[in-house]
Structure 1
Amino acid sequence: MSATIDVTEAGFRFVPGVFQYSCGVAALPGYRLVRARFAEPVPMAEGWLRIAAHLDALGRPRNAFCACELRSPAPFTEAGFLAFNQAYAAVLAEWGILHDGQNPVARSNVCPDIAPPAEPGFHAFTYTMPDTAAAPSFVVAGSGEAAEGRGNYRDHIVALGDTSPEGMLKKARWVLGEMERRMAAMGFGWAATTGVQVYTVYDIHPFLAQDLVARGAARHGATWQFCRPPVEGLDYEMDCRGVATELVLPG
Protein backbone atom coordinates (compact mmCIF):
# COMPACT_ATOMS: atom_id res chain seq x y z
CA MET A 1 0.00 0.00 0.00
CA SER A 2 1.31 3.46 -0.88
CA ALA A 3 3.04 5.67 1.66
CA THR A 4 1.03 8.49 3.17
CA ILE A 5 0.80 11.93 1.58
CA ASP A 6 0.86 15.05 3.74
CA VAL A 7 -1.77 17.76 3.45
CA THR A 8 0.35 20.13 5.48
CA GLU A 9 -1.96 23.14 5.43
CA ALA A 10 -4.86 21.03 6.73
CA GLY A 11 -2.93 19.12 9.40
CA PHE A 12 -3.30 15.53 8.23
CA ARG A 13 -1.83 12.87 5.98
CA PHE A 14 -3.66 10.24 3.98
CA VAL A 15 -3.21 6.84 2.37
CA PRO A 16 -4.18 7.12 -1.33
CA GLY A 17 -7.21 5.08 -2.32
CA VAL A 18 -9.80 5.46 -5.06
CA PHE A 19 -11.44 8.60 -6.44
CA GLN A 20 -14.35 8.44 -3.99
CA TYR A 21 -12.24 8.15 -0.80
CA SER A 22 -8.79 7.57 0.63
CA CYS A 23 -7.92 4.45 2.62
CA GLY A 24 -7.31 6.41 5.80
CA VAL A 25 -6.14 9.64 7.41
CA ALA A 26 -3.91 10.51 10.37
CA ALA A 27 -3.23 13.81 12.10
CA LEU A 28 0.11 15.45 11.50
CA PRO A 29 2.19 16.49 14.52
CA GLY A 30 0.64 19.54 16.13
CA TYR A 31 -2.92 18.47 15.27
CA ARG A 32 -5.59 16.12 16.51
CA LEU A 33 -8.58 14.58 14.79
CA VAL A 34 -12.05 15.33 16.15
CA ARG A 35 -15.03 13.13 15.28
CA ALA A 36 -18.47 14.75 15.36
CA ARG A 37 -21.54 12.52 15.09
CA PHE A 38 -25.02 13.76 14.32
CA ALA A 39 -27.71 12.50 16.69
CA GLU A 40 -29.71 11.55 13.58
CA PRO A 41 -28.55 11.28 9.95
CA VAL A 42 -28.59 14.62 8.15
CA PRO A 43 -29.40 14.65 4.39
CA MET A 44 -26.39 15.34 2.19
CA ALA A 45 -27.23 18.89 1.07
CA GLU A 46 -28.06 20.03 4.59
CA GLY A 47 -25.11 18.09 5.96
CA TRP A 48 -22.61 19.92 3.80
CA LEU A 49 -24.03 23.23 5.04
CA ARG A 50 -23.91 22.16 8.68
CA ILE A 51 -20.36 20.85 8.37
CA ALA A 52 -19.27 24.11 6.74
CA ALA A 53 -20.92 26.13 9.52
CA HIS A 54 -19.28 23.95 12.18
CA LEU A 55 -15.84 24.43 10.66
CA ASP A 56 -16.43 28.17 10.24
CA ALA A 57 -17.39 28.50 13.90
CA LEU A 58 -14.10 26.87 14.86
CA GLY A 59 -12.08 28.98 12.45
CA ARG A 60 -11.05 25.89 10.50
CA PRO A 61 -10.68 25.81 6.69
CA ARG A 62 -12.83 23.55 4.54
CA ASN A 63 -9.93 21.18 3.91
CA ALA A 64 -9.74 20.41 7.62
CA PHE A 65 -12.63 18.03 6.78
CA CYS A 66 -10.81 14.71 6.40
CA ALA A 67 -13.24 11.82 7.01
CA CYS A 68 -16.94 11.09 7.09
CA GLU A 69 -19.47 8.35 7.71
CA LEU A 70 -22.58 8.25 5.52
CA ARG A 71 -25.92 6.47 5.70
CA SER A 72 -27.89 5.51 2.58
CA PRO A 73 -31.38 4.05 2.08
CA ALA A 74 -30.28 0.78 0.41
CA PRO A 75 -27.26 -0.74 -1.35
CA PHE A 76 -26.51 0.89 -4.69
CA THR A 77 -26.08 -0.77 -8.04
CA GLU A 78 -22.58 -0.37 -9.42
CA ALA A 79 -23.82 2.41 -11.74
CA GLY A 80 -25.78 4.10 -8.96
CA PHE A 81 -22.76 4.06 -6.65
CA LEU A 82 -20.59 5.62 -9.34
CA ALA A 83 -23.12 8.42 -9.89
CA PHE A 84 -23.40 9.07 -6.16
CA ASN A 85 -19.63 9.17 -5.77
CA GLN A 86 -19.22 11.58 -8.65
CA ALA A 87 -21.67 14.02 -7.06
CA TYR A 88 -19.98 13.63 -3.66
CA ALA A 89 -16.49 14.18 -5.09
CA ALA A 90 -17.73 17.28 -6.93
CA VAL A 91 -18.46 18.95 -3.59
CA LEU A 92 -14.99 18.06 -2.33
CA ALA A 93 -13.58 19.70 -5.45
CA GLU A 94 -15.69 22.83 -4.85
CA TRP A 95 -14.37 22.97 -1.29
CA GLY A 96 -10.77 22.76 -2.52
CA ILE A 97 -10.18 19.48 -0.69
CA LEU A 98 -8.81 17.39 -3.54
CA HIS A 99 -5.02 17.17 -3.24
CA ASP A 100 -3.13 17.11 -6.52
CA GLY A 101 -6.15 15.43 -8.08
CA GLN A 102 -6.44 12.80 -5.34
CA ASN A 103 -9.24 12.49 -2.80
CA PRO A 104 -7.71 12.59 0.71
CA VAL A 105 -10.98 12.13 2.63
CA ALA A 106 -11.56 8.74 4.28
CA ARG A 107 -15.16 7.53 4.17
CA SER A 108 -17.65 4.87 5.13
CA ASN A 109 -21.09 4.63 3.52
CA VAL A 110 -23.48 1.97 4.80
CA CYS A 111 -27.20 1.22 4.66
CA PRO A 112 -29.29 0.62 7.80
CA ASP A 113 -31.43 -2.46 7.24
CA ILE A 114 -34.15 -1.31 9.65
CA ALA A 115 -35.57 2.25 9.57
CA PRO A 116 -33.23 3.45 6.83
CA PRO A 117 -33.05 7.16 5.96
CA ALA A 118 -35.16 8.41 3.07
CA GLU A 119 -32.07 9.69 1.27
CA PRO A 120 -28.29 9.52 1.68
CA GLY A 121 -26.93 11.64 4.50
CA PHE A 122 -24.18 12.23 7.03
CA HIS A 123 -23.88 10.16 10.20
CA ALA A 124 -20.53 11.60 11.32
CA PHE A 125 -17.53 13.57 10.11
CA THR A 126 -13.96 14.12 11.24
CA TYR A 127 -11.76 17.19 11.02
CA THR A 128 -8.42 18.46 12.26
CA MET A 129 -7.80 20.87 15.11
CA PRO A 130 -4.46 22.42 16.10
CA ASP A 131 -3.11 20.85 19.30
CA THR A 132 0.59 20.86 20.08
CA ALA A 133 0.14 18.28 22.84
CA ALA A 134 -2.06 15.87 20.87
CA ALA A 135 -1.43 12.15 20.83
CA PRO A 136 -1.48 10.49 17.38
CA SER A 137 -4.97 10.03 15.93
CA PHE A 138 -6.32 8.37 12.80
CA VAL A 139 -9.39 7.16 10.92
CA VAL A 140 -9.45 4.14 8.60
CA ALA A 141 -12.02 4.22 5.80
CA GLY A 142 -14.64 1.51 5.58
CA SER A 143 -13.99 -1.54 3.45
CA GLY A 144 -16.22 -4.36 2.33
CA GLU A 145 -15.01 -7.78 1.22
CA ALA A 146 -13.76 -6.75 -2.23
CA ALA A 147 -10.61 -5.14 -3.51
CA GLU A 148 -11.24 -1.56 -4.61
CA GLY A 149 -10.15 0.21 -7.75
CA ARG A 150 -10.66 -2.84 -9.97
CA GLY A 151 -13.38 -1.42 -12.20
CA ASN A 152 -16.26 -3.08 -10.37
CA TYR A 153 -16.99 -4.78 -7.08
CA ARG A 154 -18.94 -7.87 -8.09
CA ASP A 155 -16.09 -9.64 -9.89
CA HIS A 156 -13.85 -9.26 -6.83
CA ILE A 157 -16.18 -10.02 -3.91
CA VAL A 158 -14.86 -12.63 -1.49
CA ALA A 159 -17.26 -15.61 -1.21
CA LEU A 160 -19.85 -13.90 -3.40
CA GLY A 161 -23.37 -14.80 -2.29
CA ASP A 162 -22.14 -17.10 0.49
CA THR A 163 -23.60 -15.91 3.78
CA SER A 164 -23.10 -19.23 5.55
CA PRO A 165 -20.89 -19.15 8.67
CA GLU A 166 -17.98 -20.32 6.51
CA GLY A 167 -18.63 -17.67 3.88
CA MET A 168 -18.95 -14.89 6.45
CA LEU A 169 -15.71 -16.01 8.07
CA LYS A 170 -13.89 -15.66 4.74
CA LYS A 171 -15.38 -12.21 4.23
CA ALA A 172 -14.55 -11.07 7.77
CA ARG A 173 -10.96 -12.29 7.59
CA TRP A 174 -10.40 -10.45 4.31
CA VAL A 175 -11.82 -7.22 5.72
CA LEU A 176 -9.85 -7.56 8.97
CA GLY A 177 -6.71 -7.94 6.89
CA GLU A 178 -7.61 -4.82 4.93
CA MET A 179 -8.12 -2.85 8.15
CA GLU A 180 -4.68 -3.99 9.29
CA ARG A 181 -3.09 -3.06 5.97
CA ARG A 182 -4.58 0.41 6.07
CA MET A 183 -3.58 1.01 9.68
CA ALA A 184 -0.07 -0.28 9.05
CA ALA A 185 0.35 2.15 6.14
CA MET A 186 -0.08 4.95 8.69
CA GLY A 187 2.00 3.29 11.39
CA PHE A 188 -0.84 1.99 13.58
CA GLY A 189 -2.41 -1.29 14.67
CA TRP A 190 -5.35 -2.54 16.72
CA ALA A 191 -3.67 -1.43 19.96
CA ALA A 192 -4.08 2.20 18.86
CA THR A 193 -7.81 1.98 18.12
CA THR A 194 -10.47 3.64 20.23
CA GLY A 195 -13.41 2.51 18.10
CA VAL A 196 -14.13 -0.39 15.74
CA GLN A 197 -17.38 -0.72 13.79
CA VAL A 198 -18.78 -3.80 12.03
CA TYR A 199 -21.51 -3.45 9.40
CA THR A 200 -23.49 -6.55 8.44
CA VAL A 201 -26.94 -8.07 8.83
CA TYR A 202 -25.48 -11.57 9.22
CA ASP A 203 -24.37 -13.33 12.39
CA ILE A 204 -20.87 -12.38 13.54
CA HIS A 205 -20.92 -14.53 16.69
CA PRO A 206 -19.33 -17.64 15.12
CA PHE A 207 -16.10 -15.72 14.48
CA LEU A 208 -16.38 -12.91 17.04
CA ALA A 209 -14.13 -14.45 19.70
CA GLN A 210 -11.34 -15.86 17.59
CA ASP A 211 -11.25 -13.46 14.67
CA LEU A 212 -12.13 -10.11 16.26
CA VAL A 213 -11.54 -10.29 20.00
CA ALA A 214 -8.46 -12.53 20.00
CA ARG A 215 -7.00 -10.58 17.10
CA GLY A 216 -7.22 -7.36 19.12
CA ALA A 217 -9.93 -5.77 16.99
CA ALA A 218 -12.35 -5.45 19.90
CA ARG A 219 -10.07 -4.20 22.68
CA HIS A 220 -12.70 -1.56 23.54
CA GLY A 221 -15.52 -3.68 22.18
CA ALA A 222 -16.80 -3.70 18.61
CA THR A 223 -19.86 -1.69 17.62
CA TRP A 224 -22.09 -3.88 15.45
CA GLN A 225 -24.21 -1.66 13.23
CA PHE A 226 -27.09 -3.58 11.64
CA CYS A 227 -26.32 -2.17 8.21
CA ARG A 228 -25.45 -3.45 4.77
CA PRO A 229 -22.39 -2.27 2.80
CA PRO A 230 -23.18 0.30 0.09
CA VAL A 231 -22.99 -1.88 -3.04
CA GLU A 232 -25.22 -4.82 -3.99
CA GLY A 233 -23.44 -8.14 -3.39
CA LEU A 234 -21.32 -7.00 -0.44
CA ASP A 235 -22.24 -8.43 2.96
CA TYR A 236 -19.60 -7.36 5.49
CA GLU A 237 -17.81 -4.07 6.16
CA MET A 238 -15.65 -2.56 8.90
CA ASP A 239 -13.97 0.70 9.77
CA CYS A 240 -11.87 1.75 12.74
CA ARG A 241 -10.35 4.79 14.36
CA GLY A 242 -8.05 6.05 17.07
CA VAL A 243 -9.58 9.38 18.07
CA ALA A 244 -9.49 10.88 21.57
CA THR A 245 -12.02 13.67 20.99
CA GLU A 246 -15.58 12.84 19.92
CA LEU A 247 -18.79 14.82 20.22
CA VAL A 248 -22.46 14.50 19.32
CA LEU A 249 -24.25 17.25 17.40
CA PRO A 250 -28.05 17.64 17.25
CA GLY A 251 -29.67 15.65 14.44
Structure 2
Amino acid sequence: MRSPGQFTEEGFIAFNRVYVHTLERWGIFKDDENPVARSNVCPEVDPPTAPCFHAFSYTMPAEASDAAEVKSFVISGSGEAPEGPGGYADRIIRLGDTAPDAMREKAQFVLGAMEFRMAALGLTWADATTSQVYTVHDIHGFLADEVVRRGAAPDGVTWTYARPPVEGLAFEMDVRGVPVERVIG
Protein backbone atom coordinates (compact mmCIF):
# COMPACT_ATOMS: atom_id res chain seq x y z
CA MET A 1 0.00 0.00 0.00
CA ARG A 2 1.00 3.61 -0.42
CA SER A 3 -0.16 6.45 1.83
CA PRO A 4 0.23 10.22 1.45
CA GLY A 5 2.20 10.62 4.68
CA GLN A 6 3.05 9.03 7.99
CA PHE A 7 0.21 8.44 10.42
CA THR A 8 0.15 9.27 14.08
CA GLU A 9 -0.19 6.09 16.10
CA GLU A 10 -3.90 6.81 16.61
CA GLY A 11 -4.33 7.54 12.90
CA PHE A 12 -2.66 4.26 11.97
CA ILE A 13 -4.94 2.32 14.32
CA ALA A 14 -7.98 4.03 12.75
CA PHE A 15 -6.68 3.32 9.25
CA ASN A 16 -6.15 -0.35 10.10
CA ARG A 17 -9.70 -0.65 11.44
CA VAL A 18 -11.05 0.50 8.06
CA TYR A 19 -8.61 -1.81 6.27
CA VAL A 20 -9.62 -4.83 8.37
CA HIS A 21 -13.30 -4.02 7.84
CA THR A 22 -12.67 -4.10 4.08
CA LEU A 23 -10.96 -7.49 4.38
CA GLU A 24 -13.92 -8.76 6.44
CA ARG A 25 -16.35 -7.57 3.74
CA TRP A 26 -14.30 -9.47 1.15
CA GLY A 27 -14.43 -12.60 3.33
CA ILE A 28 -10.65 -12.67 3.80
CA PHE A 29 -10.32 -11.69 7.47
CA LYS A 30 -12.28 -13.91 9.83
CA ASP A 31 -12.09 -14.64 13.56
CA ASP A 32 -9.00 -12.44 14.06
CA GLU A 33 -7.08 -14.48 11.47
CA ASN A 34 -5.43 -12.19 8.93
CA PRO A 35 -3.90 -14.05 5.97
CA VAL A 36 -2.84 -10.79 4.31
CA ALA A 37 0.79 -9.70 4.19
CA ARG A 38 1.26 -6.03 3.41
CA SER A 39 3.68 -3.16 3.52
CA ASN A 40 2.21 0.30 3.87
CA VAL A 41 4.72 3.03 3.10
CA CYS A 42 4.67 6.74 2.36
CA PRO A 43 6.53 7.84 -0.78
CA GLU A 44 8.59 10.96 -0.20
CA VAL A 45 8.32 12.00 -3.86
CA ASP A 46 4.94 12.17 -5.62
CA PRO A 47 2.87 10.58 -2.83
CA PRO A 48 -0.72 9.54 -3.52
CA THR A 49 -3.53 11.82 -2.36
CA ALA A 50 -5.12 8.99 -0.35
CA PRO A 51 -4.05 5.50 0.78
CA CYS A 52 -4.14 3.12 -2.17
CA PHE A 53 -2.99 -0.28 -3.41
CA HIS A 54 0.34 -0.22 -5.20
CA ALA A 55 0.96 -3.92 -5.78
CA PHE A 56 -0.33 -7.27 -4.59
CA SER A 57 0.51 -10.93 -4.50
CA TYR A 58 -1.91 -13.82 -4.76
CA THR A 59 -1.81 -17.59 -4.69
CA MET A 60 -2.80 -20.19 -7.21
CA PRO A 61 -2.99 -23.95 -6.74
CA ALA A 62 0.18 -25.74 -7.83
CA GLU A 63 0.23 -28.96 -9.74
CA ALA A 64 0.75 -31.86 -7.32
CA SER A 65 4.12 -32.65 -8.93
CA ASP A 66 5.30 -29.04 -8.47
CA ALA A 67 3.88 -28.40 -5.01
CA ALA A 68 6.80 -29.92 -3.09
CA GLU A 69 9.37 -27.93 -5.11
CA VAL A 70 7.72 -24.49 -5.10
CA LYS A 71 8.31 -22.29 -2.09
CA SER A 72 6.17 -19.21 -2.41
CA PHE A 73 5.72 -16.62 0.33
CA VAL A 74 5.24 -12.95 1.12
CA ILE A 75 6.41 -11.54 4.45
CA SER A 76 4.72 -8.36 5.69
CA GLY A 77 6.76 -5.23 6.09
CA SER A 78 8.23 -4.46 9.48
CA GLY A 79 9.74 -1.32 10.91
CA GLU A 80 12.19 -0.95 13.78
CA ALA A 81 9.67 -1.35 16.62
CA PRO A 82 9.56 -4.68 18.47
CA GLU A 83 6.11 -6.18 19.06
CA GLY A 84 4.83 -5.75 22.57
CA PRO A 85 2.98 -3.52 24.98
CA GLY A 86 3.13 0.25 24.84
CA GLY A 87 2.96 2.67 21.99
CA TYR A 88 5.33 2.90 19.07
CA ALA A 89 7.23 5.76 20.70
CA ASP A 90 8.03 3.42 23.61
CA ARG A 91 9.27 0.62 21.33
CA ILE A 92 10.99 2.26 18.35
CA ILE A 93 14.70 1.52 18.31
CA ARG A 94 16.64 4.76 18.77
CA LEU A 95 13.58 6.95 18.24
CA GLY A 96 14.42 10.12 16.34
CA ASP A 97 18.02 9.07 15.66
CA THR A 98 18.96 8.59 12.00
CA ALA A 99 22.74 8.80 12.37
CA PRO A 100 24.58 6.05 10.43
CA ASP A 101 25.07 3.82 13.50
CA ALA A 102 21.39 4.22 14.45
CA MET A 103 20.24 3.27 10.93
CA ARG A 104 22.50 0.21 11.08
CA GLU A 105 20.92 -0.82 14.40
CA LYS A 106 17.42 -0.28 13.00
CA ALA A 107 18.30 -2.38 9.92
CA GLN A 108 19.77 -5.16 12.08
CA PHE A 109 16.52 -5.37 14.04
CA VAL A 110 14.32 -5.37 10.91
CA LEU A 111 16.47 -7.98 9.18
CA GLY A 112 16.14 -10.13 12.30
CA ALA A 113 12.35 -9.66 12.21
CA MET A 114 12.29 -10.83 8.58
CA GLU A 115 14.40 -13.87 9.51
CA PHE A 116 12.10 -14.69 12.42
CA ARG A 117 9.02 -14.51 10.20
CA MET A 118 10.65 -16.63 7.48
CA ALA A 119 11.83 -19.20 10.04
CA ALA A 120 8.24 -19.59 11.26
CA LEU A 121 7.48 -20.84 7.73
CA GLY A 122 10.60 -23.01 7.55
CA LEU A 123 12.30 -20.55 5.20
CA THR A 124 15.58 -18.64 4.99
CA TRP A 125 17.07 -15.90 2.84
CA ALA A 126 18.01 -18.62 0.34
CA ASP A 127 14.27 -18.98 -0.40
CA ALA A 128 13.79 -15.24 -1.05
CA THR A 129 13.60 -13.78 -4.52
CA THR A 130 13.01 -10.12 -3.61
CA SER A 131 13.97 -7.93 -0.66
CA GLN A 132 12.64 -4.40 -0.45
CA VAL A 133 13.84 -1.57 1.79
CA TYR A 134 11.77 1.54 2.52
CA THR A 135 13.54 4.57 3.96
CA VAL A 136 14.50 8.13 3.10
CA HIS A 137 17.79 7.74 4.95
CA ASP A 138 21.14 6.59 3.60
CA ILE A 139 21.55 2.80 3.58
CA HIS A 140 24.93 2.60 1.85
CA GLY A 141 26.91 2.53 5.11
CA PHE A 142 25.49 -0.86 6.09
CA LEU A 143 24.08 -2.32 2.87
CA ALA A 144 27.03 -4.63 2.17
CA ASP A 145 27.74 -5.61 5.79
CA GLU A 146 24.21 -6.12 7.06
CA VAL A 147 22.07 -6.91 4.02
CA VAL A 148 24.22 -8.44 1.28
CA ARG A 149 26.53 -10.57 3.44
CA ARG A 150 23.53 -11.85 5.38
CA GLY A 151 22.07 -13.21 2.14
CA ALA A 152 19.13 -10.80 2.18
CA ALA A 153 19.81 -9.48 -1.31
CA PRO A 154 19.51 -12.54 -3.56
CA ASP A 155 19.17 -10.48 -6.73
CA GLY A 156 19.88 -7.07 -5.24
CA VAL A 157 17.69 -4.89 -3.06
CA THR A 158 14.85 -2.70 -4.19
CA TRP A 159 15.16 0.58 -2.28
CA THR A 160 12.00 2.66 -2.31
CA TYR A 161 12.49 6.25 -1.20
CA ALA A 162 9.60 6.21 1.24
CA ARG A 163 8.88 6.39 4.95
CA PRO A 164 7.30 3.66 7.06
CA PRO A 165 3.64 4.33 7.91
CA VAL A 166 3.93 5.51 11.54
CA GLU A 167 5.57 8.72 12.71
CA GLY A 168 8.93 7.96 14.29
CA LEU A 169 9.72 4.88 12.22
CA ALA A 170 12.63 5.35 9.80
CA PHE A 171 13.32 1.93 8.22
CA GLU A 172 11.03 -0.77 6.90
CA MET A 173 11.63 -3.91 4.91
CA ASP A 174 9.67 -6.77 3.40
CA VAL A 175 10.67 -9.94 1.60
CA ARG A 176 9.08 -12.47 -0.68
CA GLY A 177 9.86 -15.61 -2.58
CA VAL A 178 7.77 -16.13 -5.69
CA PRO A 179 8.25 -18.46 -8.64
CA VAL A 180 6.57 -16.02 -11.05
CA GLU A 181 6.48 -12.25 -10.81
CA ARG A 182 4.65 -10.05 -13.32
CA VAL A 183 5.08 -6.31 -13.45
CA ILE A 184 2.42 -4.34 -15.24
CA GLY A 185 3.32 -0.74 -16.08
Select the residue among 91, 94, 105 that pairs with 1:159: 94
Q: Does 1:150 align with 2:81?
A: no
3-state SS, counterpart of residue 92 of structure 1: helix
Runs of at least 5 residues in structure 2 that lack an aligned partner in the other structure: none
Aligned to 2:132: 197
Q: Give deviations 1:35-83, integer Å, cap 9, x for gaps.
A: xxxxxxxxxxxxxxxxxxxxxxxxxxxxxxxxxxx00000000111011
Q: Partner residue of 1:214?
A: 149
Match of 1:119 in 2: 50
Alignment of 1:67-106 (within 5 A): 70-106=1-37
Deviation for aligned residue 1:246: 1.6
The runs of 5 or more residues in structure 1 that have no matched partner are: 1-69
Distance across 2 between alignment mates of 1:127 and 1:99: 18
Partner amino acid for 1:217?
A
Contact 2:135 2:170 in 1 (8 A): yes
- What is the TM-score when the length of structure 1 is the normalising length? 0.70
Deviations 1:84-103 (A, max 9, x none): 10000001111111243221
Could you state the TM-score of these two structures normalised by the residue count of structure 2?
0.94
- Name the structure 2 match of 1:19: none
How many residue pairs were aligned? 181
Counterpart contact for 2:24–2:30, Cα < 8 Å: no
Number of the residue aligned with 1:178: 113
| SS of residue in 1 equivalent to 2:45 | coil
Q: Which has the higher strand share?
A: 1
RMSD over aligned CA atoms reads 1.2
SS at match of 2:55: strand
Name the structure 1 match of 2:38: 107
Structure 1 stretches of 4+ with a deviation exceeding 3 A read none
Q: CA–CA distance in 2 between the matches of 1:171 and 1:240?
A: 16
* Cα distance, 1:167 vs structure 2: 0.6
Q: What are the Cα deviations for residues 135-158 of structure 1, in whole angstroms up to 9, with x where unaligned?
A: 110010000000235342111000
Partner of residue 166, structure 2: 231
Alignment partner of 1:169 is 2:100: no
**d(CA) in 2 for partners of 1:246, 1:227:** 22
